[in-house]
Structures are given as C-alpha cells and as structure tokens.
Amino acid sequence: MTKPVPPSGPNDEPSSRRRQILEIAAQLFAKKGYRGTSMRDIGEQAGVLGGSLYHHIRSKDALFVELHNAALDRAEERIAAAVRAQSDPWARLYAACATLLDIQLAPGSLTTPMMNDFREVPDDVREQLIARRDRFEGLFRSLVEELPLPAPIDRSIYRNLLLAQLNATADWYRPGKLAPAEIAAQIVAVFRHE
C-alpha cells in the first residue's frame, strides 16, 4: 500500500510534488482501474486537499492520459534502444519482444494496467489513448516490415497477432519458470515458424 506523501515544505519544488502525486495516481489507476480511482482517492493518498490537488492536476482524464502516454514513452525508448543494437531483422524483433515483456512482466509494472484500461474511459479519452498506442505500435510495424516473411502473409495481421500474444502474456505469466527473454524467444520462434 502506498504511504501518503508528506505535505511539501517551503523548499520543495512544485515539480517534485507533482511527480509524487503522479506516482501515487499511477499506482491507484493500476490497482483500482480508471473508474475505481477518484481524484479524492489520489488527494487522500498524496495528503493533498481537493482544491490544492487541482493546482497540480487539471482533471482525472488528463491525468490518466498523461500517465498512459508517459508509460508508453518510456517503453518505446527502451525498445528502440534495444532494437538499435541489432542489425538482423529477426534479432531486432526478438530484442523488441524481450524488452516489451521485460517491461510488462516486471513486478509492480504500471505499463500493462495503464494500457489495458481502454474500456473504462470516456470516448474522447479513449481516442487519445488509441492514438498514442497506434504510434507506439508503429515501432513494431516497421520491425515486421523488415522481416523476410513469405509473400502470402499479411503483415498487418501478423503484427496484430504478435502484439496480442505479447500483451496477453501478463495474464498467464508466473515468475519462476521462464524468464521474459525466454518467453520472447519462444514467441519469436513460433512466429518465425521454427
């Protein structure tokens, strides 16, 4: 359980305080979902009164979009760095898959819960989340385009099936057996038909 953040003192930077509130909000959204988390919950956990909270946060919707996008930004940066270190198309795909699973399956990961809460948000928020998710998936789109796949395979379907498999891994994964990198190797082997 997250401890309430102590009230900020006169020497605390507003950005530091805001970061604390964002961390608390991300944990609450991951634990309770979009609908189950209220601004009051966030304020109480952060030790901030309602009016003061709105000094740091514009709205619950804006907060959720910001947290979702920040999680995807960090994931995209890590995946892109891993991919840049490889030259072979299959090695690049493996690096992307292994990094994504490492992010999603890490204890306390906020990425998967933030990415999977689309059904609960209002339509205008969902549109923003989908636009950012589509941009993130562009990384996998380019990786799949580079693969030497047989001509009859539709690369869009291939990419969507691959991402669906990667994203579903958190539903069945249990620590202690295969590591995320080993699971990624198995998934890539299946998608490579080895």
Under 8 Å between Cβ of 186 and 178: yes
Chain center to CA of 90? 23
Looking at the structure, do residues 24 and 104 belong to the same domain, yes or no? no
Looking at the structure, do residues 98 and 121 belong to the same domain, yes or no? yes
- Helix (DSSP H) and strand (DSSP E) numbers for the chain: 9, 0
Looking at the structure, do residues 73 and 44 belong to the same domain, yes or no? no
Distance set, CA 112 to CA 28, 81, 109, 153 (Å): 14, 20, 7, 28
Segment 72-85, tens digit of pLDDT: 999 999 999 999 99
Out of 36, 57, 78, a domain closes at 57
Looking at the structure, do residues 88 and 116 belong to the same domain, yes or no? yes
For CA atoms 150, 154, 156, 159, the dihedral sign is: negative
Spatial separation of the C-alpha atoms in residues 135 and 133, rounded to whole Å: 5
Tokens of 141: 């789109």
Q: Is residue 3 part of a domain?
A: no
Question: Pick from 68, 51, 186: which is nearest to 39 by CA?
Answer: 51
Q: Is residue 33 part of a domain?
A: yes
Looking at the structure, do residues 114 and 78 belong to the same domain, yes or no? yes
Looking at the structure, do residues 92 and 171 belong to the same domain, yes or no? yes
Segment 18-77, tens digit of pLDDT: 888 888 888 888 888 888 888 889 888 888 876 778 777 888 888 888 888 888 999 999
Looking at the structure, do residues 48 and 92 belong to the same domain, yes or no? no
- If one counts the domains in the chain, the total is 2
Global confidence as pTM: 0.81
Which of 46-50, 62-66, 95-99, 143-147 is predicted with the least confidence, judged by mean pLDDT? 46-50
Looking at the structure, do residues 40 and 86 belong to the same domain, yes or no? no
Residue showing tokens 């989340």: 129
Looking at the structure, do residues 109 and 150 belong to the same domain, yes or no? yes
For the domain that residue 24 is a member of, what is the CATH number?
1.10.10.60
Chain center to CA of 102? 11
Q: Is residue 8 part of a domain?
A: no
Looking at the structure, do residues 151 and 76 belong to the same domain, yes or no? yes
Out of 5, 22, 57, a domain closes at 57
pLDDT (average), residues 2-13 = 40
Domain that holds residue 32: 14-57
